[in-house]
Structure 1
C-alpha cells in the first residue's frame, strides 16, 4: 500500500477531457464496470483492473468507500505470470533427455528445441499463480490532477490506457515541459521560448 508507506515513487498527471457529466456515482459505476475480474483466466499472463483501496482482492465497488477527504482514491491491480528461468531450464533438460531416449536421436534440432520450450512454458504458466501488484491512485477532481504511486513504465502505461478506457479522460504526465505548456502564468511568447531551450551541460 504505497500511499501509507514511508518510501514510495510517484507520477503526477494532469486530467484532460470533457468531465461535465462525471459524478461520484458515475465514477463508482465506471470503476465497477472495469474492476479487476474476480474469476481469473488461468491462461492469462497479464490481467489488470481497478480495486477498492480498502479491499485489493475483492474488487466489488458497490459498498466500498472511494471518497477520502477531497480525493477519489482507488487502486490499479496488475497480475502477471512469469516462469522462473531455473524451473524452465530444469524442465527443458528433463524433457530433452526423455525425447532423445524415445527417438534414439543424439540431439534435437533448433526448431524442435524452440517448440519444446514454447510448449513447456505454456504448460507451466497454466500451473503457476499470477503475482499481484497493487498501485494506489489519488484523484484530485478540483485541481484535475491524478497522483499515481508508481513510476514503472509498464504500470504507468497501463494506468494511462485503463483510465482513458474507464472515464473517457486522458492522463497527461506532468514534467517540466508539460507543466510549462499548461501553465496559466506563462505567456504564449514565454512558452514558445521554453520549447527552444537546450539542456545545460556542466563540466568539471
Structure 2
C-alpha cells in the first residue's frame, strides 16, 4: 500500500508528498487502518488533523465500515443527479451520527479480535487511562472513556461537522432549486422550498415580492 499525503503549505499551495510504501497482508479495514496509524506514528503525525482520504481501487479503505465510501463513489459519478447527491450527503451524515451513537462496542469487538489474532496486548477498558506523556499523573478517566469519547466520537464529530460545513449552503440551495425541476410534471415542486429560495436572495426579491409570492403560493 502506497501512502501519499496531500496538504496546504503556509503559502496556501496544495502539495502532495509520497511518505511511505507499506506491506499489508490483506485489505480489510482493520489491517489498512493499523498500517496507516503506524506510519503516522513514525512520522509524528496526528490522525485527528486528517480532514479526508482518497484511494484507488480499494473500496474498504474507508474507515467508517463503507459509510463515507458510498458517498465518495456516488459523488464521483459523472451522471449523478445533483439533488440526489445532496440527499446522499444528508443520509451519510445521519448514518455517521447513528454509527457514532451505537457502534463503538462493535468496533471495540473487531479491534479486540484483531489484537488477539496478532498477539497484540489488549488494553483493559475498565482500567484507568494513563497519559504516555505524564505517566505519574492520574487522569481520572478509564481507557474506555478515552478511546470512546476522546478518539472515536471526537473523530466522527469532526467528520460530521466537516460534511455540514462543506455542503450546508450548497445543499439547501440545490434542494430548493430542485423543486423547480420539470421532471414528472413538476412532481418535486414544493411551496416551502420556493419561499426559502426567495429568502436566500434578499437583494433580488424585495419584501413586497416575497410577500406576494407567499400569497400566490398559499392560494
TM-score when normalising by structure 1: 0.26
Higher strand fraction (1 or 2): 1
Q: Which has the higher contact order (CA 8 A, sep 6+)?
A: 1
Higher helix fraction (1 or 2): 2
TM-score when normalising by structure 2: 0.25
